[in-house]
A = this chain, B = another copy of it.
Amino acid sequence: MTHARIAINGYGNLGRGVEQALSLAPDLELVGVFTRREGVMTASGPAFPAAELTDPQLRARWAGKIDVVINCGGSKSDLDTQTPLVASGFNVVDSFDTHARIPAHFEQVDDAARTAGTLALISAGWDPGLFSLQRLLAEAVLPAGHSETFWGPGLSQGHSDAVRRVPGVKNAVQYTVPKEDVRAAALAGETEGQLSAGDKHRRIVYVALENGADPEAVRQAIVTMPNYFAEYETEVHVISDEEFAAEHTGMAHGGDVIRHGTTSPGTSHALHFNLALDSNPEFTGSVLVACARAVARMHARGERGAVTLFDVPPALLHPASAAQLRADLL
């Protein structure tokens, strides 16, 4: 069995999800939690300042004591700088999910990791992550076909943040909900893989307002926001602070990857992968932990630079030996 020493960098919802997942991994040891907030107590004990990992002067203390760092910051402002910095000293896993910037992030992390002789696995989680893997497997096996991905029902963090920046909004959540008729058509193989996210999803927003804010002005500002809402069927519900606190703190999510493909005239096949998650950060954390195990093993085999889940032999994600996996799961 692997024995690998793991550190968590960032102690928000995702960091706590990773800590929880590590408690279920007999072969992985949590050696430290790093955070920018001072005086944090984790479930495992005191946290260390994040700078100890990212400041080259400070991190001497941890050199040789961590096998893999799991970066738990956000894609918006943290990971694009943190992952290259951490990769220049440690093997690292992140969940970078800003799709358009993945190629640039990959290059930057690859440079840092190759220079340092470390291994960095980026963009892990469920999408990007397990969903990406399903898209790849389905397309590799059925090259003549079309795929659809649906997200939700679930809370979108990025869209919730965007609503919170609207003047007059005190608190907000945004749920992404598949249009059930479109999803049913995709499951039946009646779509062509060309649908936009707006064709497939509705956005439902719940806002609690500042005193004196004009609900109609807030609603207009939300539904016309380009890139986030203008292209979507969007509902805005103004609710009380109490209702907000009582009903809208869950972090459930999920979705579907669907592919239909043809192998000869009139002969077609359907693959469907569905996730239904009670907690997005706990599930994402569980994927990151399995990836950290694989990174420890791949680094020990001599792999260096940046990789994604596409490059990981699946057996390395599981604690059992290859022979055991063949006997039990093949």
Q: Which of A29-37, A47-55, A304-312 contacts B (4 or more CB under 8 A)?
A: A304-312
Give every chain B residue within 8 A of A102 (Cβ-Cβ).
326-327, 330
- Determine whether the beta carbon of A318 is less than 8 Å from that of B123: no
- Determine whether the beta carbon of B264 is less than 8 Å from that of A270: no
Give every chain B residue within 8 A of A276 (Cβ-Cβ).
269-270, 272
Q: Is A62 an interface residue (CB 8 A)?
A: no
User: Known: A267-B278, A275-B271. Is A330-B140 also a contact (CB below 8 A)?
Assistant: no
- Determine whether the beta carbon of A308 is less than 8 Å from that of B290: no
- Determine whether the beta carbon of B282 is less than 8 Å from that of A132: no
A287-330 Cβ-contact flags toward B at 8 Å (1 or 0): 10010010000000000000011111111011100110111011
Give every chain B residue within 8 A of A270 (Cβ-Cβ).
274-277
Give every chain B residue within 8 A of A17 (Cβ-Cβ).
263
- Determine whether the beta carbon of A279 is less than 8 Å from that of B267: yes
Q: Which of A18-26, A72-80, A193-201 contacts B (4 or more CB under 8 A)?
A: A18-26
Q: For residue A309, which residue of chain B has the nearest CB?
A: B314
User: Known: A132-B330, A139-B329, A286-B142. Is A20-B309 also a contact (CB below 8 A)?
Assistant: no
Q: Is A141 an interface residue (CB 8 A)?
A: yes
- Determine whether the beta carbon of A310 is less than 8 Å from that of B282: no
User: Known: A268-B278, A279-B263, A323-B103. Is A313-B312 also a contact (CB below 8 A)?
Assistant: yes
User: Known: A267-B279, A270-B276, A275-B271. Is A290-B329 also a contact (CB below 8 A)?
Assistant: no
Q: Is A130 an interface residue (CB 8 A)?
A: yes
- Determine whether the beta carbon of B311 is less than 8 Å from that of A123: no
Q: Is A283 an interface residue (CB 8 A)?
A: yes
Q: For residue A26, which residue of chain B has the nearest CB?
A: B143
Q: Is A239 an interface residue (CB 8 A)?
A: no
Q: For residue A270, which residue of chain B has the nearest CB?
A: B276
- Determine whether the beta carbon of A317 is less than 8 Å from that of B136: yes
- Determine whether the beta carbon of B286 is less than 8 Å from that of A310: no
- Determine whether the beta carbon of B311 is less than 8 Å from that of A310: no
- Determine whether the beta carbon of A318 is less than 8 Å from that of B140: yes
- Determine whether the beta carbon of A310 is less than 8 Å from that of B313: yes
- Determine whether the beta carbon of B330 is less than 8 Å from that of A290: no
Distance of A144 Cα from B279 Cα, bound (Å): 15
Distance of A326 Cα from B97 Cα, bound (Å): 12
Residues of chain A from 216 to 272 with CB closer than 8 A to chain B in the complex: 263-264, 266-272
User: Given A133-B314, A270-B276, 20 other A-B contacts at CB below 8 A?
Assistant: A103-B327, A130-B137, A132-B329, A136-B317, A136-B318, A137-B314, A140-B319, A141-B290, A143-B319, A263-B279, A263-B283, A263-B285, A269-B277, A269-B283, A272-B272, A272-B274, A273-B273, A310-B314, A310-B329, A314-B314
A sample of 19 inter-chain contacts (CB < 8 A) reads A99-B330, A102-B327, A123-B330, A132-B330, A135-B329, A136-B315, A136-B318, A136-B329, A140-B293, A141-B317, A263-B282, A264-B279, A267-B282, A269-B276, A269-B282, A273-B273, A308-B326, A312-B313, A312-B314
Give chain A's interface residues, CB within 8 Å of chain B.
Answer: 17, 20-21, 24-25, 99, 102-103, 106, 123, 128, 130, 132-137, 139-144, 263-264, 266-279, 282-283, 285-287, 290, 293, 308-315, 317-319, 322-323, 325-327, 329-330
